[in-house]
């Protein structure tokens, strides 16, 4: 018999949810084989012209994160509508406000530094799935908004510096960064930032230089040029994973309706239940911070 219980123990637990530490399905390659990404230890950069399909990849990551109840999100979306579906599930949702963006990045860096101090005490170099620490995922849709459009030059530079720090520190302490830009240029993605991304996805680009800025120097000369992706094939990208060759992939695509259905379901599985620690016991954000 189900009885009412103030801690919600009368509720039937939902089946196991996803973990961000598990491989994430991102699409298929040109041979029809599934493509999986290990976001937590890699970071992900997506670049390419408008309409190329970058949002599809970001939505795959965000939807996986919402269903992974061990994951918290900090979302940056200058347009509001690209990642807006997830705003109620995110710890921070930054719109076109650079001051807010800077304060969230500073806070994330503090958490990252605290995690390294904790790792030092554990005599380890990276956070493991068994550590009972949540993954804190940062997604930035349109880097250019924060690095070149909003605020003063000094604020833009501070944003770029903090972001470089987070991308550098985040991968071993379960705080990955996923970022996209439709303007792959050196002022937005300097090589020092690009090289910290273990995964780079070049969607259709307007020049071989842009393609190289996303993938890395000289890939176009070696035959991997995102200019060659036809405009009639949105969602196609050259995906480079650390140490490998770029692979032509077709990103899995979720419609707006599917995204909102997933978000509704995620809100339901993330609702407070008996699995939540009672008030007064430290949550993992406190432990991490």
Beta carbon nearer to ligand ATP, 27 or 246:
27
How far apart are alpha carbons 258 and 59 in whole angstroms?
10
- Give the binding range for ligand ATP (CB under 6 A) out of 49-57, 87-95, 102-110, 278-286: 49-57
The answer to whether 56 contacts ligand ATP (rule: CB under 6 A) is: yes
52 is in an annotated binding site: yes
Beta carbon nearer to ligand ATP, 21 or 76:
76
The answer to whether 50 contacts ligand ATP (rule: CB under 6 A) is: yes
Contact criterion met (CB below 8 Å) for 102 and 276? no
Beta carbon nearer to ligand ATP, 54 or 200:
54
Give the shortest CB-203-to-ligand ATP separation in angstroms: 6
How far apart are alpha carbons 127 and 38 in whole angstroms?
14
283 is in an annotated binding site: no
186-225: which residues touch ligand ATP (CB under 6 A)?
203
Beta carbon nearer to ligand ATP, 181 or 225:
181
3-state helix, strand, coil in the chain (%, to 5): 35, 20, 45
How far apart are alpha carbons 107 and 160 in whole angstroms?
15
55 is in an annotated binding site: yes
121-180: which residues touch ligand ATP (CB under 6 A)?
none
Beta carbon nearer to ligand ATP, 134 or 181:
181
Least Cα distance to 144 among 180, 118, 108, 110 occurs for 180
Return the half-sphere exposure (C-beta side, CA atoms, 13 A cut-off) of residue 87: 13
242-261: which residues touch ligand ATP (CB under 6 A)?
250-251, 253
Give the shortest CB-289-to-ligand ATP separation in angstroms: 33
Pure H helices in the chain: 54-67, 98-122, 143-144, 153-170, 191-194, 208-215, 256-269, 284-288
The answer to whether 78 contacts ligand ATP (rule: CB under 6 A) is: no
The answer to whether 184 contacts ligand ATP (rule: CB under 6 A) is: no
158 is in an annotated binding site: no
Contact criterion met (CB below 8 Å) for 226 and 203? yes
The answer to whether 182 contacts ligand ATP (rule: CB under 6 A) is: yes
Give the shortest CB-148-to-ligand ATP separation in angstroms: 15
Return the half-sphere exposure (C-beta side, CA atoms, 13 A cut-off) of residue 45: 33
The number of beta carbons lying within 10 Å of the beta carbon of residue 150 is: 18
Beta carbon nearer to ligand ATP, 169 or 238:
238
Measured CA angle at 29 (ends 167, 184), to 5 deg:
40
Residue set of the binding site: 48-55
Residue set of the binding site for ATP: 48-55
Interface residues toward ligand ATP, by CB under 6 A: 48, 50-56, 182, 203, 234-235, 250-251, 253
């Amino acid at each position: 018999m189900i009885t009412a219980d103030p801690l919600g123990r009368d509720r039937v637990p939902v089946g196991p949810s996803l973990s961000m530490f598990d491989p994430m399905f991102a699409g298929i390659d040109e041979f029809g084989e599934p493509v999986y990404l290990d976001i937590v230890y890699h970071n992900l950069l997506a670049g390419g012209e408008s309409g190329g399909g970058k949002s599809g990849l970001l939505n795959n990551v965000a939807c996986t994160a919402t269903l992974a109840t061990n994951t918290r999100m900090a979302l940056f979306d200058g347009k509001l509508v690209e990642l807006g579906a997830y705003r109620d599930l995110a710890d921070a949702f930054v719109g076109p406000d650079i001051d807010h963006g800077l304060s969230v990045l500073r806070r994330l860096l503090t958490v990252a530094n605290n995690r390294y101090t904790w790792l030092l005490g554990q005599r380890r170099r990276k956070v493991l799935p068994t550590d009972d620490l949540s993954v804190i995922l940062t997604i930035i849709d349109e880097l250019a908004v924060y690095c070149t459009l909003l605020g003063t030059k000094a604020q833009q530079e501070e944003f770029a510096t903090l972001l470089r720090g987070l991308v550098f520190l985040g991968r071993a302490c379960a705080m990955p960064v996923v970022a996209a830009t439709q303007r792959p240029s050196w002022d937005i993605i300097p090589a020092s930032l690009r090289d910290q991304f273990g995964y780079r996805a070049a969607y259709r680009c307007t020049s071989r230089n842009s393609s190289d800025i996303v993938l890395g120097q000289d890939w176009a000369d070696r035959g991997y040029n995102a200019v060659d992706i036809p405009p009639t094939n949105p969602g196609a990208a050259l995906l480079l994973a650390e140490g490998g060759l770029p692979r032509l992939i077709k990103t899995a695509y979720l419609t707006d309706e599917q995204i909102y259905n997933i978000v509704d379901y995620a809100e339901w599985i993330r609702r407070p239940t008996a699995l939540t620690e009672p008030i007064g016991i430290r949550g993992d954000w406190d432990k991490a911070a």
